[in-house]
Amino acid sequence: MMMNGMHVYLKQVQFKQINNCEAFLPLLILLFCQPLNPEILWNDHKFVLCEDICYNNHILLQSQNDPISHAIECEALHQLEDCLLLNGKSLRDFPNMPIPLPRSLDINHGGEDLDQLIRKERSYNIAQLSDDIARNVPLLNDDQCNIYESVMRAVTCGDGCFFIDGPGGTGKTFLYNVLLSTVRSSGDIAVAVASSGIAALLMMGGRTAHS
């Protein structure tokens, strides 16, 4: 039943930017939950990811039997591996998952000589972040707004350390994501770190401390 639910969930998700970890969020959740047969999920849903790579790189893929599809699949695996490595995991951690061969396509990776984490942080869509800020900042309550303004003043000045505490359900994660969007919308790097994989997934671009 759980495996069927995973398949249904993946089919309902729209993957729009495969070069961002957010595009792999449903698959990452499945991998962190350690399904019994991750290779089955990969085989059933990989073509959607491959199509997205083709779209973003203006490659015409005729069918799943197109010879170039093998290179595209390899690229999809590489991009999934990149996302996993940022969270201290690897495809090799999951039994029967395919391991990609060396890259063979001239795909835009955002700058190979940049550190992987920096590449990811530089890949956010600024226009989308600005829309998120315009939509979410007005939703902050008074306490959240005070914290938001204090943190952003400290970011502008280049110093400051804050500890935000509160019971569950008071909007801490929402506040964190608004702060992350604001910092990243200016082209700056904001590394979101949490103590657990679940908490990391709740933050935009989040990663675990041990990764």
Same domain for 188 and 130: yes
Q: What pLDDT does residue 29 have?
A: 59
Same domain for 73 and 14: yes
State the total domains in the chain: 2
Domain that holds residue 83: 2-121
> For a pLDDT cut of 70, what percent of the chain falls above it?
64
Any idea which of 38-52, 54-68, 102-116, 124-138 has the lowest mean pLDDT? 102-116
Question: Using 50, 70 and 90 to split pLDDT, how confident is the model at 143?
Answer: very high
Last-in-domain residue among 121, 137, 167: 121
Rounded Cα distance, 150 and 198, in Å: 27
Q: What pLDDT does residue 131 have?
A: 92
Q: What pLDDT does residue 105 have?
A: 56
Q: What pLDDT does residue 178 have?
A: 93
Rounded Cα distance, 13 and 18, in Å: 12
Please tell me the pTM assigned to this model: 0.48
Same domain for 111 and 149: no
Find out whether 80 and 24 touch, Cβ atoms under 8 Å.
Answer: yes
Q: Between these two residues, 21 and 101, which has the higher pLDDT value? A: 101
Same domain for 176 and 112: no
Last-in-domain residue among 73, 88, 121: 121
Q: Between these two residues, 164 and 86, which has the higher pLDDT value? A: 164
Find out whether 206 and 32 touch, Cβ atoms under 8 Å.
Answer: no
Q: What pLDDT does residue 57 have?
A: 65
Same domain for 112 and 11: yes
pLDDT in tens, 34-81: 777 888 878 877 777 777 777 766 665 555 555 556 778 888 888 888
**Dihedral, CA atoms, 173, 177, 178, 184, nearest 10 degrees?**
160
Same domain for 73 and 30: yes
Tell me the CA distances in angstroms from 211 to 48, 73, 160, 197, 206, one per residue in order. Answer: 28, 26, 24, 10, 11
Same domain for 105 and 31: yes
